[in-house]
């Protein structure tokens, strides 16, 4: 992750200064080594169980199951991203950030990973949150882009939205 860390910083900075350079850094991430593939079938089974737990409000149990899924196959991007999301839900933002960077190392154009990373960075008051959100927007299809704008506008005006996350969304919306 140390090698990727500097590249991710460059990606986030490029969204502010030179968005055309983002693809260069994405290609560098793609060239980094990834963990050996594990048992995808077992990982997906754990992931399904974890999703059921998460949907039933059992966040801690879901986190444990998602962690089992990632242990079974550290290259299962869905399980890694879901673990990061569950950690976010549990207000474990620093842990979520680390996991989400791992997910993006596996697939640096995964929109959901960037959206979740933007939330994690914003909730911690860290720089790069709006840029991460803009990257999520950049990497989703046109239909999803429209839905994302609508969602952000709704969340910005929702008093239950974390103010730091809402501010990052406002900044992201103003530049897309």
Fold classified for 36-108: 1.25.40
Q: Provide the pLDDT for residue 56.
A: 98
Q: What are the residue ranges spanned by the domains of the chain?
A: 1-33, 36-108, 114-176
- Three-state secondary structure call for residue 111: helix
CA angle 160, 127, 164 (to 5 degrees): 10
Q: What is the pLDDT along the chain (176 residues), one digit of tens a residue?
A: 567 889 999 999 999 999 999 999 999 999 999 999 999 999 999 999 999 999 999 999 999 999 999 999 999 999 999 999 999 999 999 999 999 999 999 999 999 999 999 999 999 999 999 999 999 999 999 999 999 999 999 999 999 999 999 999 999 999 98
Rounded distance, CA 107 to CA 93, Å?
Answer: 20
């Amino acid at each position: 992750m140390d090698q990727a860390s500097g590249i991710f910083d460059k990606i986030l900075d490029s969204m502010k200064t030179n968005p055309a350079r983002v693809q260069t850094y994405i290609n560098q991430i793609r060239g980094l080594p990834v963990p050996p593939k594990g048992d995808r079938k077992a990982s997906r089974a754990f992931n399904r169980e974890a999703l059921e737990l998460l949907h039933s409000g059992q966040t801690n149990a879901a986190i444990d199951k998602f962690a089992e899924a990632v242990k079974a196959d550290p290259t299962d991007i869905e399980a890694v991203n879901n673990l990061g999301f569950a950690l976010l839900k549990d207000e474990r933002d620093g842990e979520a950030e680390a996991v989400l960077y791992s997910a993006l190392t596996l697939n640096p154009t995964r929109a959901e990973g960037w959206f979740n990373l933007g939330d994690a960075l914003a909730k911690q008051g860290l720089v790069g949150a709006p840029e991460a959100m803009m990257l999520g927007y950049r990497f989703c299809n046109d239909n999803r882009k429209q839905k994302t704008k609508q969602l952000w506008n709704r969340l910005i005006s929702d008093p239950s939205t974390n103010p730091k996350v809402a501010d990052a969304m406002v900044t992201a919306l103003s530049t897309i």
